[in-house]
Structure 1
Amino acid sequence: MRHPLTGQDFDSPVPPGTGWPEDPAQPETPTARTPAGVRRLAATDDLAELDARVSVCSACPRLVRWREDVARDKRASFADQPYWGRPIAGWGDPEPSVLIVGLAPAANGGNRTGRVFTGDSSGDWLFASLHRVGLATQATSVHAGDGQRLLGARMVATVRCAPPANKPTPQERDTCAPWINREVRLLRPHLRAVVALGAYGWDGALRALRGAGVAVPTPKPKFGHGVEVELDGITLLGCYHPSQHNTFTGRLTPVMLDEVLGRARELGGLGGQ
């Protein structure tokens, strides 16, 4: 299937000037098309090359179909906008002391903008809090060219493609795992705090830390908002996901979110609020 804006295959790099992030991939970037391909191509010591390879992955047929279908059959409110329609690489500081781990890109958020948590309601809450505690330069993140920068922090999704109903299958999670495992391994020398958004982010963060060689106890620590677990020099913090279900009901408030992210900033050696 070809990209509706560029006419290229969805798994091919796209040119600048589209409102998306600068494309990390090049025409020669290899594409993982199977779980074995993901494992092989994730084995790089270059973070930029890892991002490039993530951005053209097509190893999960159901996720490929879904992300491309959403990008073609756009939500009416975004009908005049181009959609990224590809996997979403991590973004932010390449040597972060704070890592934020979420579930997956939103179908009409990150899958549209090309940057995780950018352009959806969860991102509105998250970036406002990151800005309040000093981990982001702006209080909003609307599109990839809006000038937003993370300060000493980086964001990743456990699964790099938008899944139907926000629910990747266990097989899709496991197929995608080598990407985040390798990313965490490359970031580990700098990491001091990992913030897991929601129970899925918590499980994904623990899996990724273990996959990166960090000692994780058995049974695994249980998720809870504000829970802190020390893991081999890295503190894992639990935080309710800033989904509309949690923010509309008051289960998660701005103060609660600020407390967790502010604590992560302090643990990261970036100073208190």
Structure 2
Amino acid sequence: MDDSCALARLDRRVVGCRACPRLVAWREEVARSKRAAFADCTYWGRPVPGFGPADARLVIIGLAPAAHGGNRTGRMFTGDRSGDVLYQALYDVGLASQPTSVGADDGLELYGVRVTAPVHCAPPANRPTPGERDTCRPWLVQELKLLRPTLRAAVVLGAFGWQAALPAFAEAGWTVPRPRPAFAHGTRVALDGLVLRSDLGPGLRPARRLDLFGCFHVSQRNTFTGRLTAEMLREVLRTAADAAGLLP
């Protein structure tokens, strides 16, 4: 099975997950009640898989799908204002085919980039519990394992994502420094690859060095207050894309 088929299979398994009762109840209630502006829409209402090619050189890790964004459209960072900011920046840097992401069938393509999250269901108040984060972690670990033959850089959006991503990278085949590096906007940490003897089954190859970047989350709180500006986001993405070998 090639990497694209294995990743597609993983995505299908993610979509069928019902491991966290609170999240299942919330995502399905939101899909039933809807927001007035989307009353005519059919909500996805399920876990949202990662989005992007199986040979991505750069991965962007957020927090969780938005109740009326990814939980409605079925695609990460799609149909909400956080996604508007992220995909505009990816387009500006040359990593996306268009500056907007409004629905899963809008034709958007990402170039060498995959977007995912440590929690795949929309949580109440955008706040997964630590237990929900830990329950969902194996999905991220498996995704990173499948990406690691080509993966060279990662951008993690926000402190919650950072805390969730570090152990996932460790389990997926990279060496995370100890003590674990603290989250900060613009921070850069080198993760060395290693061979996990019990892990190298068919289709899985050793991880290579990966450059990990921290970035403030593209939440409305951060973008509306100016804590994260469009240029700040573009700068992190450019630096990460360059580290991944995606820029000319």
- The residue that corresponds to 2:225 in the other structure is 249
The partner residue of 1:115 within 56, 59, 75 is: 75
Gaps of 5+ in 1: 1-44
What is the CA–CA distance in structure 2 between the aligned matches of 1:211 and 1:65, rounded to whole Å? 29
Gaps of 5+ in 2: 193-208
- The residue that corresponds to 2:115 in the other structure is 155
Deviation at 1:207, TM superposition (A): 1.9
Q: Write the mapping of 1:1-273 to structure 2, written as runs, cut at 5 A.
A: 46-232=6-192, 233-271=209-247
Q: Tell me the secondary structure at the aligned position of residue 194 of structure 1.
A: strand
| 1:66-115 deviation digits (Å, cap 9, x = unpaired) | 00000000011111111000001111011100000001000000000000
Deviation at 1:141, TM superposition (A): 0.3
What is the CA–CA distance in structure 1 between the aligned matches of 2:103 and 2:7, rounded to whole Å? 23
- Kindly tell me the number of residue pairs found equivalent between the two proteins: 228
Per the normalisation by structure 1, the TM-score is: 0.82
Q: Tell me the secondary structure at the aligned position of residue 195 of structure 1.
A: strand
Deviation at 1:201, TM superposition (A): 1.4
Deviation at 1:202, TM superposition (A): 1.3
Q: Which moved more, 1:165-174 or 1:68-77?
A: 165-174
Q: Tell me the secondary structure at the aligned position of residue 100 of structure 1.
A: strand
What is the CA–CA distance in structure 2 between the aligned matches of 1:246 and 1:202, rounded to whole Å? 16
| 1:146-181 deviation digits (Å, cap 9, x = unpaired) | 100100000011100001111111111111111001
Q: Tell me the secondary structure at the aligned position of residue 175 of structure 2.
A: coil
Q: CA-atom RMSD, angstroms?
A: 1.0
Per the normalisation by structure 2, the TM-score is: 0.90
- The residue that corresponds to 2:197 in the other structure is none
Q: Tell me the secondary structure at the aligned position of residue 155 of structure 1.
A: strand
